[in-house]
Every structure is written in C-alpha cells, then in structure tokens.
Amino acid sequence: MPYPEELVAPMRKELSSAGVQELRSAADVDNFMAQKSGTAMVIVNSVCGCAAGGARPGVKLALQNAAKPDRVATVFAGQDTEATQKARSYFADVPPSSPSIAIFKDGELVHFVPRHAIEGRPPQAIAQELTKVFDSVCATAK
C-alpha cells in the first residue's frame, strides 16, 4: 500500500529539485527511454530510510560532477508502481531492489547499483561510486 503523498513529497522533491525528472507513469518511462543516444540514469527512489536516505543525497552530490548522464530520471517504488514496473523492465536481468540506480549508454544498461550496495553507506561513498562511472561513460557537461 502506498505511503501518504504528504510523507513522500519531500523525498520526491529532494531529487526533482536537483533537476531529476520524475516519471509517474509507464508512458513517461517509455518516453524517457525512447531516446537511445547518449547516457541516461534512472534512480528507483524509495521511502526506506536505511538506504534511500543515503541514496538521494548521494545522487545529488554525484550530479555536481563535471561528467554526468545526459538525462536523469526517477521512479518511486511502492508509490508509482506502474512506472516502477516499466522502468524495471529495462533492466529485467537484475533482481529488483529499491533504492537502486541504473545507468544506460545508447539505450544499453552499463552499470547498476543494487540496494545492498547502497545500504549503510554514506552519501559521499555512493556519490564516489557514481562519479567513477560518470567519468568512465558520460561526456563532460559544457
């Protein structure tokens, strides 16, 4: 059962205020993923404080890096279930977990950070892992 929206709203805003596009429906996800060229990152957000509490600030920190994905979006697990299910269909080989982070290049999944790699880690460590991937696969923002 979804959490009350007023509880979740600040968790959505934490990412959207950093320029992350919210995908609320399956159509939103398909539209976002339709563009194959370049790099994209999809964050599966979650209410869980044990992991998502570090993931969101970690993502925000990582997005300050010079090299970063061309497009960044998020779905909210447990809240926007249709959108989350659709997003997961783009990385269906990986067991589902939330929060988690998928990075694509030219439409192909090139990196995935599962929940267990986020749990208990400080935002700086999560950001460090992400920026390492950004530096490797993303172009530097002009």
Residues with catalytic annotation? 48, 50
19 vs 95, beta carbon nearer another protein: 95
* Torsion of Cα atoms, 129 then 134 then 135 then 139, to 10°: -170
Q: Cis (ω within 30 of 0) for the bond into 99? A: yes
Q: Indicate the SS3 state at residue 88.
A: helix
Is the CB of 27 or the CB of 135 nearer to another protein?
135
Smallest gap, in angstroms, from Cβ of residue 53 to another protein?
Answer: 5
Among 18, 24, 38, 48, binds another protein (CB under 8 A): 48
- Alpha carbons within 13 angstroms on the beta-carbon side of residue 112 total 17
In whole angstroms, how close is the CB of 138 to another protein at the nearest point? 15
Which helix (H) or strand (E) is 73 found in, with range? strand 71-76
Q: Which residues bind another protein (CB under 8 A)?
A: 48-51, 53, 93-95, 97, 108-121, 129, 132-133
